[in-house]
Amino acid sequence: MPKTVFTATDAAGFVHIRKTERSYSHTVVYLPSYDRDMAHADRNIKEDGSNWRFYADRVATGATRFLTNAEERAAEYASEAQAIAGERAKRVAFVRKREADGYYDKWQNAGWCGRPDLAAKLLADTQKWTARAVILPATAK
């Protein structure tokens, strides 16, 4: 069966393209959320401390046989508090780099749908974690 090219143009004028044997009527596009990503920079603080303790313990007891870079991971920070602050700073820097690169201004595609009700369902899910989401009609070329 020949493949059909479906397109949809977002508010910024970018054309989203999908080449497939399936049939689509809509696509859902979204703008990523800077605020959500910055809030997530604090989500792994408990794990950051746990990871540092794990590697520090393995190095202290010599149980590093099956761990890659255990010594480097443990030596990266002098304390658990430094590990937590350092790992958070890395996540914040990553989000800020994305912002500088224009990531939060570019529409992303959440998925293509063959029915309006499926597009509405995907939209509802996507709106939970994005700055903005919309349904666009898909056009076969």
CB 130 within 8 A of CB 33: yes
The whole-model pTM stands at: 0.80
Q: Measure the N-to-C terminal CA separation of the chain; round to a whole number of Å.
A: 16
Q: What is the pLDDT of residues 57-107, one digit of tens each?
A: 888 888 877 777 777 877 888 899 999 999 999 999 999 999 999 999 999
3-state secondary structure of 136: strand
Give the pLDDT confidence score for residue 64 in this predicted structure: 78
Q: What is the pLDDT of residues 103-130, one digit of tens each?
A: 999 999 999 999 999 999 999 999 999 9
What's CA 61's distance to the chain center, in Å? 36
> For the chain, what percent of residues have pLDDT higher than 70?
99
